[in-house]
Amino acid sequence: MKQEITLRQSLTLVQVVALGLAWMTPMIYFSVFGIAYDASKGMITEAYSLSIVAIFFTAYSYSVMAKIFPGSGSSYTYVKKSLHPIPGFTVGWAILLDYLFSPIIACLTFGIYLNAQFPAVPAYVWIILLNVILAVVNIAGIKFSASLSKMFVLFQIVFIALFCGYMFKGLSGAQDVVLPFTHMDAGLSTLLAGASLICFSFLGFDTVSTLSEETINAKKTIPKAIMLIILIASILYITTSVLIQMRYPNLTFNNMDAAGFELMKLAGGATLGAIFTTVLIFAIFTQGLTSVTSVSRLMYVLGRDSILPKKFFGALHPKYRTPVNNIVLVSIISLLALVISLDMAVKFVSFGALTSFAFVNISVIVECFIKRRQRSLKQTFQYLIFPLIGASFIIWLITLLDTQALLLGCVWLVFGVTYYLFRTRHTRAARESSATPLFPTSATMESDLK
């Protein structure tokens, strides 16, 4: 009898946290700094604080569901088991959009930055090269990916600490230092607008839930990892924001998209700017690495459940015990980075992630508060109030997406649901046809021919 090949259970808490932070990419703080600073009218610390409070409720919902259903399907598994297979598939299909386009974004930005550094080498060369490297590293195994991610995440944290050192040093001789929260000149609507953009800095904490079947003691490790990722990111972002706001209370930028680089040159000159670019390239690499890991695992679960063709998507390599077919397919899809715009790719990611977040909050209410009747005062807060706050905030963020993003996302969902209904009907028909009578009728024979 052939032994079933399973995912290798080897990840520790530190490795899972490293993979989650690598996907989230702490350096994204500087990538979106100009847009966030402008939207919040300079109240960057206040806006980050508000976004942390808001995203906490969704992170908490993920940690609750990870304890109840410690499988690798993430939001797909949670919603399928708590609500129904159809909304479960819909959420899985939505998050697949997020996960598929994340490697594309990584490859695209990698090509853009390196082409800017080395103009003689076309961007498409860097995009193809990164694709190949990401595929090889992911095929080699999750432990190797985790080790690389841990090292490169450490680089990012060290750089952020270095930048904060520059800020702190500058404060020693600064005059008229303004503390955050002391001058709330802009209104709540301005803060909310800034927070809505800043929330995207936290996208990625959920990806670690796709690694449950490769994690040691996943029922305890994954929930801890989710909350630790949010905590570490919050400390990094708030500390940096406070120091920037105190050191430079009135910033202006020539180019909002390149505000992070302008900030580096302002704080530490060309040297800090060069270090910033180098670390950012490493950050993009690790984000791409963990993106391929996450989407290949989600595809594997969808294949194992026969939602996607099982023979291809549900297969693992006998030696490496990784979903090689999925990794190669994702690498091929990621070549869209050669033709797609960064703006379009970001729109796909935002729609998929936010749809998934909203449904996970709802699944906590259905599973815990309604089905399991966990309704004490404490449990009412945990399983009704908290997820309601999380769902409300996420749905509000969805309404802030532009019309094109909503239209593209809805088209993707309609296509997915149509495929799901066709697939399940085909599977049901196959089961019925397997129970053929000893002497098949002409109708049965006609059906088999079709």
**Among candidates 228, 231, 239, which has minimal Cα distance to 160?**
239
Q: Cα–Cα distances in Å, from 241 out to 90, 179, 245, 387?
A: 37, 11, 6, 28
**Residue 74 confidence class, pLDDT cut points 50, 70, 90:** confident
Residue 182 has pLDDT above 70, yes or no: no
Q: What is the pLDDT of residue 177?
A: 63
Residue 28 has pLDDT above 70, yes or no: yes
Q: What is the mean pLDDT of residues 140-145?
A: 81
pLDDT, one tens digit per residue, over 401-412 is 778 878 888 999
Q: What is the pLDDT of residue 252?
A: 86
Residue 376 has pLDDT above 90, yes or no: yes
**Residue 432 confidence class, pLDDT cut points 50, 70, 90:** low
Low-confidence winner among 203-212, 319-328, 375-384 (lowest mean pLDDT) = 203-212
> Is 6 buried (19+), middle (13-18) or exposed (0-12) by CB count in 10 A?
exposed
Supply the DSSP string of 125-141, one letter for each residue. HHHHHHHHHHHHHHHH-
Residue 29 has pLDDT above 50, yes or no: yes
Q: What is the pLDDT of residue 189?
A: 73
Residue 140 has pLDDT above 90, yes or no: no
Q: Is the pLDDT higher at 429 or at 289? A: 289
Q: What is the pLDDT of residue 320?
A: 84
> Is 238 buried (19+), middle (13-18) or exposed (0-12) by CB count in 10 A?
middle
**Residue 402 CB partners (closer than 8 Å, separation 6+):** 347
**Signed CA dihedral, 214, 71, 19, 104: sign only:** positive
**Among candidates 3, 4, 6, which has minimal Cα distance to 300?**
6
Q: What's the mean per-residue pLDDT of the chain?
A: 85
pLDDT, one tens digit per residue, over 163-176 is 999 998 888 766 66
As a whole number of angstroms, the distance between CA 318 and CA 17 comes to 27
As a whole number of angstroms, the distance between CA 342 and CA 318 comes to 37
Low-confidence winner among 9-13, 100-104, 184-188, 406-410 (lowest mean pLDDT) = 184-188
pLDDT, one tens digit per residue, over 271-314 is 998 899 889 888 889 889 888 988 898 899 889 988 889 999 99
Residue 206 has pLDDT above 90, yes or no: no
The domain limits of the chain are 13-431
Residue 188 has pLDDT above 80, yes or no: no
Percentage of the residues of the chain whose pLDDT score is greater than 70: 90
Q: For residue 448, what are its two tokens?
A: 């088999």
Supply the DSSP string of 53-86, one letter for each residue. HHHHHHHHHHHHHHHH--STTTHHHHHHHHT-HH
Q: For residue 343, what are its two tokens?
A: 């703006």
As a whole number of angstroms, the distance between CA 362 and CA 350 comes to 19
Q: Is the pLDDT higher at 31 or at 331? A: 331
In this structure, what DSSP letter does residue 342 have? H
Q: Which of 1-5, 159-163, 440-444 has the highest mean pLDDT?
A: 159-163
Q: What is the pLDDT of residue 313?
A: 94
CB 61 within 8 A of CB 258: no
**Among candidates 18, 50, 64, 63, which has minimal Cα distance to 287?**
18
Q: What is the mean pLDDT of residues 318-338?
A: 92
Supply the DSSP string of 162-220, one letter for each residue. HHHHHHHHHHTT-SS---TTS---S-HHHHHHHHHHHGGGGTTGGGGGGGGGGBTTHHH
Residue 378 has pLDDT above 80, yes or no: yes
Q: Is the pLDDT higher at 404 or at 193? A: 404
**Residue 446 confidence class, pLDDT cut points 50, 70, 90:** very low
**Three-point CA angle 236, 149, 164, nearest 5°:** 25
**Residue 448 confidence class, pLDDT cut points 50, 70, 90:** very low
* H helix runs in 334-402, sequence order: 342-364, 377-380, 386-400
Q: What is the pLDDT of residue 439?
A: 44
Q: Which CATH number fits domain 13-431: 3.30.300.30, 1.20.1740.10, 2.40.37.10, 3.20.20.70?
A: 1.20.1740.10
**Three-point CA angle 100, 140, 2, nearest 5°:** 95
pLDDT, one tens digit per residue, over 364-374 is 999 999 999 99
Low-confidence winner among 10-19, 356-365, 391-400, 424-433 (lowest mean pLDDT) = 424-433
Q: What is the pLDDT of residue 434?
A: 61
Q: Cα–Cα distances in Å, from 316 out to 62, 141, 324, 325, 430?
A: 27, 11, 7, 8, 25
Q: What is the mean pLDDT of residues 262-270?
A: 90
